[in-house]
A and B are shown apart, each in its own frame.
Chain A
Amino acid sequence: MKHDPGEPDLSALSTGDLVVEPPVTVPAPPPPPGPGYEVTPRPGGADAGDDSLLEVAIGPHHPSTHGVFRLNAVLDGERIVRFKPVFGYLHRNHEKLGEGGSYLGAMPYTDRLDYFCSLTNNWAYALAVERLAGLQVPDRAEYIRIITAELTRIQNHASLIGFLLQELGAMGTPLMYAFREREKILDLFESLTGARMMCNYMRFGGCRCDLPAGWLEQCRRVVDDLPGFYDEFENLLTTNEILMARTQGIGLLAKELAINAGITGPLLRASGVNYDLRKVDHYGLYDRLDFRVPLGAHGDVYDRYMVRILEMRESTKILQQALRDIPGGPVLDPKVKLRNFRPKAGEAYGRIESPKGELGFYLISDGSTNPYRYRIRPPSFINLTILEDMCRGLTLQDALVILGAVDIVMGEVDR
């Protein structure tokens, strides 16, 4: 470019006292000490260098109401590659507390395991201690146990289906219908045991108190109304196209895998395995009652829904028979001591068919007033372990539906 002579030559101007200093050379700081280990990318993990995978941590607080629980999902696009449940956020040291306190002192803590079904938890623990100490339960108490356990099963299944539909996006309506019925059952529990959820009702060798006056009539009224509720619930849901599209063929669980993984409860029966502890174990007086075990054919989420509906109907049948047959008599073996209860040294495992599966209590006694070992087999914890197998290859929204149908309560998973 030609220089214009009219323009002043700026380069000739003085720069004043501005001195261009030579660049200061700062010694580079020593490199931070390394971690001392090398990070190996997890195979299949999001940090494996494969940009197409995305790791999503759902939780620890998830809006879909299952408690403090985290799901680590590795997604390929929308498909689930890995799905890892992380739990322990609600750990309350239940088993160690049981070992530290008296046998009776652990009973109210069992209410807090699966807080939807405190009465079945009570029963499983009482059964374990009764086996340990060789106690007999009066017939009336056995019938009361059956009645309360089946009421518990009904309210658990009803509210579980409500929560399942909540996960499907049916905000409110089915859940509120289920809660309306649950409320009637909780009222029965309250008038019998004094508390709606933390019942603390069963005792070793029977039940804490007899039925209050008028309870059986009230219970009969509630039970007689239940089939109407099931019909209403099924009209609302069973043939609903959205429910069918979202649940049929989703979350398939093969029979063999279910058995090998130790799955129990409605989840196992939906896969077509005829295994119900009420029939298999002959505990309580279930042998005197006539009922059937509903089984699924496909092992998908819809079958799990359907198995639970049918189980509620069967429970109602059990209830009608038990309310008809309940004998008079004492409800508690008067020889059983409340305080200083010392079963002889030995071990016992008591298990029942809780609404969520096989709930077992394993106790070792050393002859003292507190158990030497106190261990719980929580059904929802073990049912949760195959979540990944059911979810792999599906989308995240399917995974939440599958999780909803597993029926977990974090109080029991984490204990």
Chain B
Amino acid sequence: MSLLGAGIIKGLVETARNFVGSYHDPERLTTVEYPEERLALPENARSFPMLIFDNDPVKGLRCVACKICEKECPPQCIYIVQDRDPRGKPLKFPRIFDIDLSVCMSCQICVEVCPFDAIKMNTEFELSTEDRFGGLILRREDLAKSNEYYLEIHPTEAAETDARLAAENAKAEAKSRAPAPATPAPPAALPKPPAAASPAPTT
């Protein structure tokens, strides 16, 4: 039987060690003064989806309005209307592409199911707004982000995507230049869906 209170004193020594340590040991200074100081986000960080475009923010959108993400989205936060030409023929372009951020739960399933690498996760997280209805619905124009931006926020993942797309485009081009086969080839603009959602091992 030890002295009554010895355990409390032992605990207090531990807190004192932590307290004194916080003055000279940077390991023990765990608080980051957020708005002034910012931690770098990890490469895999995700907040909400965005639409990737190449070159032109409207014409270059990779989205073809296939509505797979709209169908697969678990909380149903995506709303897409396909564009039509004046004769009513559907075009491979979304006239409306809205994402309701108040519904979206950042699960990334839209990214995984997209066969065109058109929708990716953004990392922007300071999205507070005064308008609780309109301000939280992102339109096609707000969602469109350039591929360069994507390369900037997710360098590894974007480089892999670019390499895969380039390889597929080259293959499609080689096929179209070859003599036409008996059955019409699938349109060159449609790259094959990725084999799996897992990128190549990096470690």
Write out the residue numbers on chain B whose beta carbons fall within 8 Å of the beta carbon of A331.
Answer: 198, 201
Contact B7 A241 (CB under 8 A): yes
The answer to whether A108 and B74 touch (CB under 8 A), given A173-B15, A190-B45, A330-B201, is yes
Given A101-B74, A194-B121, A210-B202, CB of A108 within 8 Å of CB of B105: yes
Q: Quick check: is B72 within 8 A (CB to CB) of the other chain?
A: yes
Residues of the B chain whose Cβ atoms lie less than 8 Å from the Cβ of A187: 42
- The CA of A365 and the CA of B14, in the complex, are separated in Å by 54
Per the 8 Å Cβ criterion, residues 194-221 of A in contact with B are 194-195, 198, 200, 203, 206-216
Contact among B15, B106, B201 for A328, CB-based, below 8 A: B201
A105 in the interface, Cβ–Cβ < 8 Å?
yes
The smallest beta-carbon distance between B6 and chain A, in angstroms, is 7
- Contact between B198 and A332, CB atoms less than 8 A apart: yes
Fill in one digit per residue for B98-142: 1 if any A CB lies within 8 Å of its CB, else 0: 000000011111001100000001000000000000000000000
Residues of A within 8 A of B203 (CB): 210-216
A235-267 near B? 1/0 per residue, CB < 8 Å: 111111111100000000000000000000000
Given the known A-B contacts A210-B199, A212-B156, A331-B201, are A194 and B46 also in contact in the complex, defined by CB atoms under 8 Å?
Answer: yes
Answer whether residue B163 sits at the interface, using C-beta atoms and an 8 A cutoff.
no
Q: Which residues of B contact A125 (CB under 8 A)?
A: none
CB contacts under 8 Å to B, within A148-173, are 173
The residue on A at minimum CB distance from B107 is A108
Of residues 290 through 349 on chain A, the ones whose CB sits less than 8 Å from some CB of chain B are 328-332, 334, 336, 338-339
Cα distance A239–B44 in the bound complex, in angstroms: 42
Interface residues of B in 1-25 (CB under 8 A from A): 2, 4-8, 10-11, 13-15, 18
B residues 148-203 in Cβ contact with A at 8 Å: 156, 195-203
Given contacts A101-B74, A213-B202, A216-B203, contact A195 B112 (CB under 8 A): no
Check if A91 is an interface residue, CB within 8 A of chain B.
Answer: no
Query: Does B81 belong to the interface (CB within 8 Å)?
Result: no
B11 CB contact (under 8 Å) in A107, A198, A236, A328: A236
Flag B28-50 by CB within 8 Å of A: 1 or 0 each: 00100000000000111110000
**Smallest CB separation, A368 vs chain B (Å):** 15
B96 at the interface (CB under 8 A from A): no
A194, B108: Cβ atoms closer than 8 Å: yes
Kindly state whether residue A102 has any CB partner on chain B within 8 Å.
yes
B interface, over-half SS: loop
Asked if A287 is an interface residue, CB under 8 A from chain B, the answer is no
The size class of the interface chain B forms with chain A is 35 or more
Q: A106-B74, A198-B107, A330-B201 are in contact. Are A191 and B42 (CB under 8 A)?
A: yes
Interface size grouping (class) on chain A = 35 or more
Q: Which residues of B contact A83 (CB under 8 A)?
A: none
Which residues of chain B come closer than 8 Å to A190, judged between CB atoms?
A: 42, 44-45
Q: How far is the CB of B123 from chain A (nearest CB, A)?
A: 9
Task: Let me know if A200 and B107 touch, CB within 8 A.
Answer: yes
Shortest CB distance B110–A (Å): 11
B68 within 8 A of A: yes
Residues facing B in A106-121 (CB within 8 A) are 106-109, 111
As a 0/1 sequence over residues 71 to 113 of chain A, the CB contacts with chain B under 8 angstroms (1 = contact) are 0000000000000000000000000010001101111110100
Give chain B nearest CB distance to A271 CB in angstroms: 25
Determine the chain A residues whose CB is within 8 A of the CB of B7 once the complex forms. Answer: 238-241, 243-244
Evaluate contact between A241 and B15: CB separation under 8 angstroms. no
Question: Given the interface contacts A191-B43, A194-B45, A235-B14, does A338 sit within 8 Å of B202 by beta carbon?
Answer: no
- Does A279 make an interface contact (CB < 8 A)? no
Q: Are A210 and B121 in touch, CB under 8 angstroms?
A: no
- Smallest distance from the beta carbon of B186 to chain A beta carbons, Å? 18
Does A192 have its Cβ within 8 Å of any Cβ on chain B?
yes
The reply to whether B45 and A338 form a contact with Cβ atoms under 8 Å apart is: no
List 3 A-B pairs, minimum CB-CB distance, nearest first: A239-B7, A108-B107, A191-B42
With A105-B74, A191-B43, A195-B106 known, 6 other A-B pairs at CB within 8 A are A195-B45, A208-B197, A209-B198, A210-B202, A213-B203, A238-B7
**Could you pull out 14 A-B pairs where Cβ atoms are within 8 angstroms?**
A104-B72, A105-B72, A108-B74, A108-B105, A192-B44, A193-B44, A194-B44, A200-B109, A236-B11, A236-B14, A329-B201, A334-B196, A336-B196, A338-B197
